[in-house]
Amino acid sequence: MATNSPARILIVDDEAAQMKALCDTLKTHGLETVGFVSAGAALKALDESKFDLVLTDLMMPEMDGIALLQAVRQKDANLVGIIMTGEGTIATAVESMKSGALDYILKPFRLKAILPVLERALAVRRLRLENIELERRVRDRTAELESAYKELEAFSYSVSHDLRAPLRHIAGFTELLSGSINATCSEQAKDFVNRIRKSAHDMGKLIDDLLDFSRMGRAELRRSEVDLQELLETVLLEIQPEIGGRNILWQKGELPSVQADPALLHQVFVNLLTNAIKYTRPRDPAKIEIGSKIEPKEVIVFVRDNGVGYDMQFADKLFGVFQRLHRQDEFEGTGVGLANVRRIISRHGGNTWAEGKLGEGATFYFSLPR
């Protein structure tokens, strides 16, 4: 219904005089009316023209008002219907509202009673049409975002893949150059070669992490029951080489089982635990705690450490791609690990967040629906 044009009302009443009087009266109040004494003629008119509201008598010989409204809703589910009835059939009129009528009005008509009912009905009609338009826009916007997301994923993967070839050449020739350096070369030249080699290695790690990040968004979720306690022990065994001979005090609380993709959740634990190991490097002993809290609708898991922590004013950067809060010469990394954690948990319908204090450690949380 266009907001700048009068509402179109289809009036159906087998009493011709009453139908015409109602049409004429409503026209004087800015409404466009079309009247019929036959339900069949009214249905045919709906095939040929658009209306905003159907006002129909309840008791008619050819087809009663309830049957007419049911037929009308098959043609336009968003069309609003109102039943007209006499005093003696109010109960039937109320019953008709269960079949799709929005409201009813009593005969003999009183204009001050009819107009508010029509205003409410037309407001419902506008709301329905606005909702339809909003849903259409949301669908279109969602489709656009999905398309842009897929293009971005493809671009990231393509760029990362294409960067590998020249990087392999840089790394390969640097190795050859390093092997051919003899005692006559200056220490400065040797240092330059070593820096090139390290930069090539760092860039290779960055490309690998970018590819992993791209894959996390495209990988199909394969949910099954995952015992988080068992998963934690598996990951701790895997990351032993990164622990080395360090003095780390582990505190492991009870962890529940959840419905999740075991491979992706495995990556979450690897990223969070290696993160804690890295940023507790200056501590002796380092303390790392893993625990959980079961809420009515979700399971919350946390990894807490006594490491270098961070300033909470930069907390919004923690889970961003390539976002780092410490210098590369202090702590190595590409800034993709926590971004992967957020992406994986988000795909499971959960949330990620963190708390920390500079110099006093940090706690990273993730939640999964129960």
pLDDT given for residue 253 in this prediction: 93
Token pair of 249 as six digits: 């005090």
pLDDT digits (tens, 9 = 90+) for 235-265: 999 888 888 788 999 999 999 999 998 988 9
Average pLDDT over residues 82-100: 71
pLDDT given for residue 303 in this prediction: 95
Can you give the pTM of this predicted structure? 0.51
pLDDT given for residue 202 in this prediction: 74
pLDDT digits (tens, 9 = 90+) for 161-220: 677 778 888 888 888 877 777 666 777 888 888 888 878 877 777 777 667 666 666 667
| pLDDT class of 329 with cuts at 50, 70, 90 | very low
**Is the model's pLDDT at 319 over the cut of 60?**
yes
**Is the model's pLDDT at 334 over the cut of 60?**
no
Q: Which carries the bigger pLDDT value, residue 62 or residue 302? A: 302
Cα gap 33→6, rounded to integer Å? 10
**284-288 contacts, C-beta under 8 A, 24 or more apart:** 284/246, 284/247, 285/247, 285/248, 285/249, 286/246, 286/247, 286/248, 286/249, 287/248, 287/249, 287/251, 287/361, 288/248, 288/249, 288/250, 288/251
Phi then psi for 71, rounded to 5 degrees?
-70, -35
In contact, 230 and 186? CB cutoff 8 Å: no
pLDDT digits (tens, 9 = 90+) for 112-169: 888 888 888 888 888 888 888 999 999 989 888 888 777 777 776 676 667 777 888 8
Average pLDDT over residues 270-275: 90
Token pair of 95 as six digits: 């019953």
Q: Which carries the bigger pLDDT value, residue 101 or residue 117? A: 117
Cα gap 233→116, rounded to integer Å? 69
pLDDT given for residue 302 in this prediction: 96
Average pLDDT over residues 86-112: 73
Please provide the average confidence, as pLDDT, over all residues in the chain. 83
Q: Percent of the chain having pLDDT more than 90?
A: 24
In sign, the C-alpha dihedral spanning 150, 155, 158, 160 is negative
Which of these, 90, 79, 86, 28, lies nearest to 55 by C-alpha position? 79
Average pLDDT over residues 295-318: 84
pLDDT digits (tens, 9 = 90+) for 49-71: 889 899 888 888 888 888 888 88
| pLDDT class of 333 with cuts at 50, 70, 90 | low
Average pLDDT over residues 329-354: 78
Token pair of 355 as six digits: 């708390």
Token pair of 295 as six digits: 């809420």
Among the residue ranges 15-24, 87-96, 127-136, 261-270, the one predicted with the least confidence is 87-96
**Is the model's pLDDT at 98 over the cut of 80?**
no
pLDDT given for residue 87 in this prediction: 63
Cα gap 211→73, rounded to integer Å? 52
Domain ranges of the chain: 8-109, 147-218, 224-369
pLDDT given for residue 233 in this prediction: 94
Which residues on neighbouring strands pair with residue 79, listed in sequence order?
A: none
pLDDT given for residue 109 in this prediction: 78
What burial class does residue 144 get, using C-beta atoms within 10 Å of its C-beta: 0-12 exposed, 13-18 middle, 19+ buried?
exposed
Superfamily holding 224-369: Histidine kinase-like ATPase, C-terminal domain (3.30.565.10)
For 161, other C-beta atoms within 10 Å of its C-beta total 13
Cα torsion for 19, 21, 25, 27, to the nearest 10°?
A: 60
Superfamily holding 8-109: Response regulator (3.40.50.2300)
Cα gap 71→231, rounded to integer Å? 59
